[in-house]
Amino acid sequence: MVNKALALLFVITIGSVLLAWQFLPEPVATPLIGGSCNVTMTEIVASAQGDVYAMDESAADYVAPDFLYLTSYSVEGDSITEPVLEDVPAALEPQQSDLALQQEAWQVFTTLIPPADRDMVVEFNVFTDGYSNTLAAVGQLSESPTDWMLEVDVADLEDKDSLIFTIIHEYAHLLTLNAEQVEPDQELVDDPFNPELQIEKGAACTYYFTGTGCSYKESYINVFYERFWVNLEEEWSAIDVMQYDEDASLEYYAALYAFYKAHQDQFVDDYSVTHPAEDIAESFTYFVFTPKPTGNSIKEQKIAFFYEYPELVKLRSDILNGACSLD
């Protein structure tokens, strides 16, 4: 039995009581490709706006909701098959049995991402922790760490713009952490939240250590890290270790937010300061859904970074065409 909760890595968490939600003014709708497109880049980006680490007074009373798996699927090409229904409380059975909605979420993913770019995904899971909180996640399979699962929260599928943003963020993890980019490490997959193991593996890695493994020299994430993170590493690491102290989670979030405010010109949003792997994922998502930057701030350089790779420029175009074809 795979312990899926342990295999969970690189979640995108947005909203929740903990997280003050500050919507920007209504954006001007810019067509994605042409006049016939049903979604717009500005609305997709706007759906993800808000400072996730800016806490309000209710933060101290916040209790994370239960996280439950509803359904697991195998992936075969463009299709998901063999749904396995988990035991869930009766209240969740209607959501669990709505296989059509789960299919629809999977089809958003396959419409956005070309087949050859998602062949590492062999499993699709549907979970819920209620509205907002964790929206989606990816993780390696413990029985075969070169393979990955994509997971979505069934309670967060209604807002199509937000779902598109979230799926591209999760895809960016697959793009930057897959076996061609980062060497799969069975010990880390089996024991992902062990701080001592992380330190040991990090020390043995010549290039950037992602937390899931040692990156290759020419990997996107190593090049990104070398260019944008080396100067921040010491200050950020002192904050990052705080998350392992269960009594200090509020202090951790507050310190992370202060770090963001101190380096705001370097990050596309505050969630990006969570981890270099989150930074490259958010920057990639902005690369896809915002115009090519014209300025030279570090956050603009992070978006422009992906234009250095012709295969990613092609992928961006494919994703935008796919987004345009969604209902």
* Consecutive H or E run containing 234: helix 233-240
CB of 295 to Zn ion, least distance (A): 25
- Residues found near Zn ion in the complex (CB under 5 A): 10, 12, 278, 281
Give dist(CA 178, CA 23) in Å, integer.
33
Shorter beta-carbon distance to Zn ion: residue 255 or 281: 281
Contacts of 46 (CB under 8 A, 6+ apart): 23, 24, 27, 161
- 3-state per-residue secondary structure call for 124-180: EEEEECCCCEEEEEEEEECCEEEEEEEEEEHHHCCCHHHHHHHHHHHHHHHHHHCCC
Shorter beta-carbon distance to Zn ion: residue 161 or 278: 278
Contacts of 305 (CB under 8 A, 6+ apart): 223, 224, 227, 228, 283, 287
CB of 14 to Zn ion, least distance (A): 10
CB of 260 to Zn ion, least distance (A): 16
CB of 134 to Zn ion, least distance (A): 10
Contacts of 319 (CB under 8 A, 6+ apart): 112, 113, 168, 288
> What phi and psi, each to the nearest 5 degrees, are found at residue 324?
-65, -30
Contacts of 10 (CB under 8 A, 6+ apart): 137, 138, 139, 170, 173, 177, 275, 277, 278, 281
CB of 73 to Zn ion, least distance (A): 21
Question: 163 with 155: CB under 8 angstroms?
Answer: no
Shorter beta-carbon distance to Zn ion: residue 96 or 132: 132
Contacts of 18 (CB under 8 A, 6+ apart): 55, 58, 59, 62, 253
CB of 161 to Zn ion, least distance (A): 18
Shorter beta-carbon distance to Zn ion: residue 12 or 221: 12
Shorter beta-carbon distance to Zn ion: residue 280 or 320: 280
CB of 222 to Zn ion, least distance (A): 18
